Amino acid sequence: MSTVAYVLRCFRSAPTLLVPTDTSSSSRLCYSFSTISSSPSSFSCCCSSSSSSEKLNKFYPFLRMERFWTGGSIDKNKALVEHLKEYNVIKSKKVAEVMETIDRGLFVPDGNPPYVDSPMPIGYNATISAPHMHAACLELLEEHLQPGMCALDVGSGTGYLTACFAMMVGPQGRAVGIEHIPELVASSIENLNKSAAAPLLKDGSLLLHVADGRLGWPELAPYDAIHVGAAASEIPPSLLEQLKPGGRMVIPVGNFFQDLKVVDKNLDGSISVRNEASVRYVPLTSRAAQLQGYGA
């Protein structure tokens, strides 16, 4: 059975709920948006699956977990990872180890609670994704982040997920982050130098570049793993070209309604795409449009 994705994302200032989707069955759950309130019954959904009540019951603890975290009770990185494990968001031992090693607090700007399971603003109309989304993407890409492999992080922001990639592929691999806001690249280098990934930055196995993420980074292609941290209206052809046969890309696609897509390039070069979950990301766009608030 494929993983049931549990996704909570912020939509503007309020958390947005998306009901879990089980893509392993032809009898698929529908979902709808709702603002989280004090009661876990304050959302609506429509289900074609006979096991829908069981799936929703599994989701209720995740809602309670999110409300607990936003109450400010989690103040340590290890405690955050332990809660992600407790609620079955993190299943992989390797992902847990990496997220414990790379302290999220180093990558969230001052004034924001780093260990709350919610996206946080990082300036320039950008955000750092919620911890559960980082965990989900790391688990989806884990088999393509083995030691010695090559990974590309598009929209690397403050550098957190790029650091996690670098720790997973190790000094014999390569982790490349690309971000089109020069100030974010500069601050991410400062963040990385304070983190456990600093030696990898120093030896050149972790690289950061100012570039248009839609074009990828062809100089070090092909990549075993590609992660895109902003929603594209369609999968960028350049990123497909730079994905290695046997590799995997995780990318949100859509405008208002978005799906987190898992894109596998088969060994014969053919492409397989599946939807993992419904999500809400900032758009993948030009630097000028982003700085203008996506209005152009």
Which residue did the predictor score with more confidence, 223 or 288?
223
Cβ-based burial of 126 (10 A; exposed 0-12, middle 13-18, buried ≥19): buried
Q: 77-291 adopts what CATH topology? A: Rossmann fold (3.40.50)
Q: What pLDDT is stored for residue 289 in this prediction?
A: 86
Whether 73 sits among the annotated catalytic residues: the reply is: no
pLDDT reported for residue 256: 87
pLDDT tens column, 6-48: 333 333 323 333 434 333 333 333 333 332 322 232 233 333 3
Q: Single out the residue of 32, 31, 9, 18 nearest to residue 119, CA to CA.
A: 9
| Rounded Cα–Cα distance for residues 279 and 18 (Å) | 7
Report which of 181, 270, 174 is spatially closest to residue 226, judged by C-alpha positions: 174
245-265: average pLDDT: 96
pLDDT-based confidence at 67, cuts 50/70/90? very low
Per-residue pLDDT at 26:
35
Residue 106 has pLDDT above 60, yes or no: yes
The residue ranges of every structural domain in the chain are 77-291
Binning pLDDT at 50, 70 and 90, where does residue 286 land? confident
Q: Which of 215, 216, 213, 176 is nearest to 290 (CA)?
A: 213
Indicate if the pLDDT at residue 49 is higher than 70: no
On the question of pLDDT at 170 being above 90, the answer is yes
Provide mean pLDDT across the span 71-77: 61
- Supply the pLDDT for residue 82: 94
Tokens 């494929």 belong to residue: 2
pLDDT exceeding 70 applies to what percent of the chain? 74
Q: Would you say residue 137 has pLDDT above 80?
A: yes
Q: What is the mean pLDDT of residues 268-293?
A: 92
Given a cut of 70, whether residue 157 has pLDDT beyond it is yes
Work out the average pLDDT over 228-232.
Answer: 95
Catalytic residue among 38, 41, 48, 129: 129
Mean pLDDT value across the chain: 81
